[in-house]
Chain A
């Protein structure tokens, strides 16, 4: 059965509306894929899935899982948080199954994190002389525990609010806040030449 939503209609419809229509017409699910594919591929890359084929496989599985569980989507949450949660969980399962370590590749958007780390630095002179290459940051980032990497990625590269992070990582907001604080501190400690211990 052809989709009842044209791409133009799909552009205007909310995620929740498309979900509702997908339950009647599976073709409408293509609009969800269209909306989230690029964002999620980027997210998977930031989570450390280094190989493009792996990212595609994970994403396909995530979309299939989302489709099968569409009825469990709770409209009180943002659909994007729900979709990110599925992608995140699928990625963690991938790492576990492959016994693989995330390969951290930080893009130019790492500026947000660098700025945050600078702002929190007590030593102003050091902050003024702050010179930190993306490579150095990536190296330090790679040393962090997985849960620290997760919160930093969501906060500074995906620009997610605490509430959204709570829904994606399935943790209380207070825990997210604590993790974020510890993650920033750990990241600074991993770069003793740049930040005062």
Chain B
């Protein structure tokens, strides 16, 4: 029969066993630097996660601001397919992932458990948004989208994707740089994103589109390929929309205008009417494109 142990005996028993184990196993406190290092490591890792989150946000912003949602009526059969092609899923996922990593790592720091989830998550989100917006304005949004985003096989940077949508002359979509404009702006020459040169009939354009052509630069053209056009040009333009890349520090200043457009000029007066040729009115979706065109400055 065993004798019940008293509290004092139990204490001696536990204290002895613990101290014996410390001696026998030659245990010693782990050095302080290990804990300091661990704490700094988690803070640094958390900060890095938020920094990557900021980059992801800058790329998200770059995608959102550089996709012309209005012109989805021309490039895609419906808005849903356009949304699937253009929405920055990768970067939103990365942003969420890095915020989660930031939260988990900050929680593992010395006093990390004291901060509520909402506070850490909101802090990480706000920091990512603020820093990400700054990075976007200095052009790192594009750099992230193209340099990092170009590597995953399932992802295509937004500008690359958009250029491919506007390299479809058979569908009446052309994008590229205007390299020459005739003096009366009745035609212009465009080099598309693949390097091919197109001689384009602009006789059917309205004033705001002619002004865009005269300013030159990169444009999106909606029109008709030569096989359906009645002229000898490669392409018949119905609408011309300016194509500005926002959030790009590599954006060089616009070249000087290639022509001077004035509504009081002979050419301008010809085109001051609101009607266009039958060929243009037959393109789909003419009405919507015209409304968008009217809203152009």
Contacts and interface: CB of A to CB of B under 8 A. Distances in A.
Contacts of B10: 37, 41, 56
Contact of A71 (B21, B23, B27, B31): B31
Interface residues of A, number: 30
B15 A166 contact: no
B27 A37 contact: no
A104 to B, nearest CB: 22
Nearest to B34: A71
Interface in B100-149: 110-111, 113-116
B14 A71 contact: no
Nearest to A172: B116
Given A166-B114, A171-B113, A174-B116, A30 B29 contact: no
B14 A26 contact: no
B32 A71 contact: yes
B23 to A, nearest CB: 8
Nearest to A76: B111
B179 interface: no
A38 B13 CA distance: 12
Contact of B7 (A27, A38, A74): A38
B287 interface: no
A169 B11 CA distance: 26
Contact of B30 (A22, A41, A71, A175): A71
Interface string A162-192: 0000100011111100000000000000000
Contacts of A119: none
Interface residues of B, number: 26
Contacts of B13: 56
A60 B29 contact: no
A29 B15 CA distance: 9
A49 interface: no
A133 interface: no
Given A64-B21, A170-B113, A172-B116, A59 B14 contact: yes
A60 B114 contact: no
A63 interface: yes
B35 interface: yes
Nearest to B107: A170
A71 B34 CA distance: 9
Nearest to A23: B29
B168 interface: no
Interface in B26-40: 27-32, 34-35
17 contacts: A26-B19, A29-B19, A30-B15, A37-B11, A37-B14, A38-B11, A56-B10, A56-B13, A59-B14, A60-B14, A60-B21, A63-B14, A67-B29, A71-B29, A166-B114, A171-B113, A175-B116
Provide the main secondary structure of the chain A interface.
helix
Contact of B29 (A69, A166, A175): A69
Interface in A135-166: 166
A22 B7 CA distance: 24
B70 interface: no
Interface in A24-70: 26-27, 29-30, 33-34, 37-38, 41, 56, 59-60, 63-64, 67-70
B18 A64 contact: yes
A29 B22 contact: yes
A72 B11 CA distance: 26
A27 B34 CA distance: 23
A59 B18 CA distance: 9
A89 B55 CA distance: 38
Contact of A67 (B11, B17, B27, B32): B27
Given A37-B11, A56-B14, A71-B31, A26 B22 contact: yes
A63 to B, nearest CB: 5
A161 to B, nearest CB: 14
Given A26-B22, A56-B10, A63-B18, A69 B30 contact: yes
Given A71-B32, A71-B35, A37 B15 contact: yes
Nearest to B18: A63
A7 B133 CA distance: 62
A68 B11 contact: no
